[in-house]
């Protein structure tokens, strides 16, 4: 139990970073799956609300922008896991990861994307992307809980001064 308690942050960090990093190939190369999700599902949905181009290449929520945030979060998570004196770096990565993945979960639940992504050829991922996103959300939330002694005093100080 002591080993697990001491190293659970590594297991969570590796899981979150793995999920984020393995998706970078798809986001940075313009793979058909990514184009379908961002330009085929999400951008038309955003356009129907008056926000055309939001998920298109060059949009503020394009695949490359989202992938860049996932890469930065992964680097921060891994770098912060190595240094006990720099735990705030891991906290920053977990917070960034939580923000990015919260967006992904939102778009799965509340847009035409859906929980099970159905591709143009009719095949479905069976909810795999959504399940991975939920796992990343739980991993980031758990890391923030584990590292609460790093960020909680800062928040309490800010709230006390408000």
pLDDT score recorded for residue 140: 98
Mean pLDDT of 133-141: 98
pLDDT score recorded for residue 53: 96
pTM above 0.85, yes or no: yes
- Here the tokens at position 19 are 């999920």
List phi, psi (to 5°) of 118.
-100, 120
pLDDT score recorded for residue 155: 85
In which band, very low, low, confident or very high, does the pLDDT at 162 lie, cut at 50, 70 and 90? low
By CB atoms closer than 10 A (0-12, 13-18, 19+), residue 115 is middle
pLDDT one-digit tens code per residue, 89-122: 999 999 999 999 999 999 999 999 999 998 778 8
Classify 52 in phi/psi space as left (phi over 0), alpha (psi -120 to 50) or beta: beta
Domain residue limits, the chain: 2-161
């Amino acid at each position: 139990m002591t080993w697990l308690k001491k190293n659970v942050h590594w297991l969570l960090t590796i899981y979150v970073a793995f999920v984020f990093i393995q998706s970078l190939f798809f986001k940075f190369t313009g793979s058909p799956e990514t184009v379908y999700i961002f330009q085929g599902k999400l951008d038309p949905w955003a356009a129907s609300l008056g926000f055309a181009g939001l998920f298109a290449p060059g949009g503020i929520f394009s695949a490359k922008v989202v992938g860049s945030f996932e890469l930065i979060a992964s680097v921060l998570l891994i770098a912060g896991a190595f240094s006990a004196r720099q735990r705030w770096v891991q906290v920053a990565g977990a917070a960034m990861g939580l923000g990015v993945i919260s967006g992904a979960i939102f778009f799965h639940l509340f847009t035409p994307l859906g929980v099970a992504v159905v591709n143009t050829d009719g095949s479905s991922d069976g909810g795999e992307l959504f399940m991975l996103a939920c796992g990343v959300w739980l991993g980031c939330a758990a890391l923030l809980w584990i590292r609460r002694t790093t960020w909680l005093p800062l928040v309490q100080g800010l709230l006390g001064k408000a």
